[in-house]
Amino acid sequence: MRQSATSLLVTALVVSGAAHGCTLPVFRYALDRWEPDALRLEVPPSSQVPALVELLRPLRANPVGNLQVVTRQGPGELQASLHDGKPGSNQQWWSGELNANSLNALLDSPARREIRRHLLDGESMVWVLLPGADPADATQVTRIEKRLRFLEQVAALPIQDPNDPDSQMGPGPALRLAIGSMVIKADVGGEDLLRRQLAGPKADASTRTGFAAVVFGRGRVLGSWPLEELDDRRLEDSTLFLLGTCSCRVKNENPGWDLLMGVDWPKALAEAQAKRSTTTTPAQGAIAAQTSPGNHAEAAEITTQPGNKAASTKAKQGLSLSLAAALALAGFWLLRRRQSNP
């Protein structure tokens, strides 16, 4: 643990002189500027399933979140399917009969609402931990959460230049350093789509026992790792990357993929802006998953750990501002290096 932190610090000091450009951290730049990628819901023609006409009419008139409804041409499969909307991608996230219940479950779920709350409360990121039935997973969750609290205390945000036009923030919560986390237990129902998406396009969520993913911006997943492989080094690299300056501003040149979130982000961010002066610290501990009409979520617990609302002043003063910027750049450099050399 100490060796990893020390090597990161040394690298930061070496490259600190290279920091320049936009000073917004990655997580805030993404929240302000990165529109979520649309996911494509393919449905059969209404002539094959007439009931779909009324079901989908509201969505066609007023699209919800980053969901795009597309009608298949010609006869064929009667089931609907959810796909990645990127050109040339054949990633399929879900397929099945489309009715009021399944459509509601696609658009929203208790855990996604909790992720949204973390992000709109101004937390820098939220680590979603999904332990399996193995008792060892609980130990891993405790280790990871403890490490996140440590990182929250010793890290710092880049220096902000209020006169830099490239670093101006859009509407939303106040800029702060806060690392949130939440645990979705294996027996929580209604979260199948979220589990698949958190596991990632290259993973088979059905075969994964315990894993973790980090979400930031407007519901973007930076990456996903099995719990036993998410060691301190990977945890530090990913966290510091998101806290660091946004060196590469083009969304598609950064790692990650977007969750399906039924959120009107411009409206939600405007509301978060209006609530800045009245924000209160959310209660820690377990929250009961609430079910909406048509949602198959069972009454189970999703444990959340909100990020520190008021970052430790003493800890922040312990790091110089130049060192904070250096750490941020080092996090980005190390993450990109390990992605190119797995």
Confidence at residue 303, expressed as pLDDT on a 0 to 100 scale: 76
pLDDT digits (tens, 9 = 90+) for 16-46: 333 446 889 999 999 999 999 999 999 999 8
Q: Residue 40 and residue 66: Cα distance in Å, rounded?
A: 9
Summary count for the chain: helices (H), strands (E): 11, 11
pLDDT digits (tens, 9 = 90+) for 228-250: 999 999 999 999 999 998 776 67
Confidence at residue 246, expressed as pLDDT on a 0 to 100 scale: 78
Confidence at residue 269, expressed as pLDDT on a 0 to 100 scale: 96
Chain CA centroid to CA 272, Å: 18
Confidence at residue 272, expressed as pLDDT on a 0 to 100 scale: 94
* Both structure tokens of 37: 């990628």
pLDDT digits (tens, 9 = 90+) for 41-65: 999 998 788 889 999 999 988 888 9
Residue with tokens 């973007």: 220
Confidence at residue 229, expressed as pLDDT on a 0 to 100 scale: 94
Chain CA centroid to CA 137, Å: 21
Q: Are 216 and 29 in contact (CB under 8 A)?
A: no
DSSP 89-127: ---EEEEE--SHHHHHHHH--HHHHHHHHHHHTT-SEEE
Q: Residue 288, CB half-sphere, CA atoms under 13 Å: how many? A: 5
Low-confidence residues of the chain, pLDDT below 50? 1-20, 280-300, 309-329, 332, 340, 342
Confidence at residue 338, expressed as pLDDT on a 0 to 100 scale: 52
Confidence at residue 40, expressed as pLDDT on a 0 to 100 scale: 94
Confidence at residue 294, expressed as pLDDT on a 0 to 100 scale: 36
pLDDT digits (tens, 9 = 90+) for 314-334: 334 333 334 444 444 455 455
Confidence at residue 62, expressed as pLDDT on a 0 to 100 scale: 87
Q: Residue 270 and residue 33: Cα distance in Å, rounded?
A: 14
Confidence at residue 10, expressed as pLDDT on a 0 to 100 scale: 32
* Both structure tokens of 186: 């294996």
Confidence at residue 29, expressed as pLDDT on a 0 to 100 scale: 93
Confidence at residue 279, expressed as pLDDT on a 0 to 100 scale: 53
